[in-house]
Amino acid sequence: MGVIKGVLKEELGNSRRMLKRYRQEIAKIKGVLVRKKIGNKYYYYIAKRQGRRVKFIYQGAASPAIKKSYLARKKQLHQYKKLLLQVKGQIKFLGKALRGKETI
Amino acid sequence: MEKKQSDLCRAILGRFHKAGILDDIILIGSWCVYFYKDYFTGTPYIDQATIKTRDLDFLIDQPSKISRAVNIPELLNDLGFIVDYKGSQGYIKLDHPELIVEFLVPEKGRGTDKPFPIPKLGINATALRFLNFLSVNTIQVKVDDFRLTVPHPANFALHKLIIFQRRTSKEKAAKDRNVAIEVLKALIDKDEAILIKKVFDGIPRPWQAKIIMGLKKAGQKEVLALLG
């Protein structure tokens, strides 16, 4: 194997590892902020699909801080999804490049 | 990709600078070649001729002397970096599709295969041999509005000539050897052959023997004559 192919092979391994890690991070962050009225007060929950069920994870009484932290999570989720797509593209590209028979 | 990569690299360095930890860190590895452009101004030097990987390696020469506590994974989190743990020992890597950030410390004594914890920076580092050789002779290059410490190109190249013979991967060894030769040639073009000899003369004899062996393997008679 040539130097370039060796480097590409290593990079493919790295990208595959990243794909797994970004998927894990996305699964951790995913979820929608919902507001429920209980008695006279409002409370925030993160609604998350887990298989066939939707799980509601309690966040606390409705407050701007919770909403702000949710928006930051949403922003990060968007960023991770974008980076995941990039990693998928890299895997496709590197896979194709490594299929060539030339020694480079 | 190249532009995106170098922009991200500069962004990381900029954050380290703002957080006040850039002075505690030396950039090593293939990315040095990119920053040597500044040093080789006026001489033919093509950093594109060498292969740069995504690995961005930082050497922390004196971990105990770090004064500021900065959580590096948190510092780089909004750039999209995620923490990954390498191997069964759990060496920390910060992953991004464009770059993979890793930290290294010089190995002392008998050495260990366990990560070296640096709690002040929220990371751990890999301890490796021969890294002192990179930190004893450094230069500073200008990056944006700050200065970055990198090993002197002579030390960088001679270090690569030592370690390429220890590589288990043939391809990595060839890559290290090629980059070493390119940098040594650029130094000779810059009329710094004497400097290469001076650095070479200042290192322990077993290391010198390794470098000579490496140059013989690479068939570099010109550089061999210079050191002989």
* Per-residue pLDDT tens over the stretch B121-177: 999 999 998 899 999 999 999 999 999 999 999 999 999 999 988 888 888 888 888
Smallest Cα distance from A84 to chain B, Å: 8
Contact between chains at B169 and A6 (C-beta distance less than 8 A): yes
Q: Percentage of residues in chain B with pLDDT exceeding 90?
A: 63
Mutate to test the interface with B, among A21, A24, A73, A104 (most CBs of B within 10 A): A21
- pLDDT value, residue A14: 94
Contact between chains at B97 and A83 (C-beta distance less than 8 A): yes
- pLDDT value, residue B100: 96
Contact between chains at A6 and B54 (C-beta distance less than 8 A): no
> A76 touching B, CB under 8 A?
yes
Q: What are the Cα distances from residue B142, in Å, to A11, B107, B147, B162, B174?
A: 29, 29, 5, 28, 30
> A63 touching B, CB under 8 A?
no
Distance, CA of B105 to CA of B124 (rounded, Å): 9
Q: What are the Cα distances from residue B58, in Å, to A67, B24, B32, B85, B166?
A: 37, 10, 10, 17, 20
Amino acid at B5: Q
pTM: 0.88
Contact by Cβ (8 Å): B145, B166: no
Chain A residues with beta carbon closer than 8 angstroms to that of B171: 1-3, 5-7, 9
Mean pLDDT of A42-48: 94
Amino acid at B166: R
Q: Which residue has the tokens 């007060």?
A: A41
- pLDDT value, residue A22: 97
* Least confident piece of the model among B33-37, B85-89, B93-97, B113-117: B85-89
Mean pLDDT of B76-91: 90
Smallest Cα distance from B64 to chain A, Å: 31
Distance, CA of B104 to CA of B125 (rounded, Å): 5
Please report which confidence band the pLDDT of residue A102 belongs to, taking 50, 70 and 90 as the band edges.
low
Smallest Cα distance from A87 to chain B, Å: 6
Q: Which residue has the tokens 């050495």?
A: B111
Pairing relationship of beta strands B82-86 and A53-61 according to DSSP bridges:
unpaired
Query: B154: exposed, middle or buried (C-beta count within 10 Å: 0-12, 13-18, 19+)?
Result: buried
Distance, CA of B139 to CA of B166 (rounded, Å): 26
- pLDDT value, residue A99: 84
- pLDDT value, residue B167: 84
Chain B residues with beta carbon closer than 8 angstroms to that of A22: 82
Mean pLDDT of B182-193: 90
Contact between chains at B54 and A25 (C-beta distance less than 8 A): no
pLDDT 10s digits, A65-89: 999 999 999 999 999 999 999 999 9
Please report which confidence band the pLDDT of residue B49 belongs to, taking 50, 70 and 90 as the band edges.
low
- pLDDT value, residue A59: 93
Q: What are the Cα distances from residue B78, in Å, to A7, A74, A77, B96, B132?
A: 28, 12, 11, 11, 33
Contact between chains at A21 and B171 (C-beta distance less than 8 A): no
Smallest Cα distance from B171 to chain A, Å: 5
Q: Which helix (H) or strand (E) holds B216?
A: helix B205-218
User: Residue A36 above 90 pLDDT?
Assistant: yes
- pLDDT value, residue B170: 81
Per the model's pLDDT, the better-predicted residue between B222 and A102 turns out to be: B222
Pairing relationship of beta strands B100-106 and B55-59 according to DSSP bridges:
parallel
Chain B residues with beta carbon closer than 8 angstroms to that of A87: 97
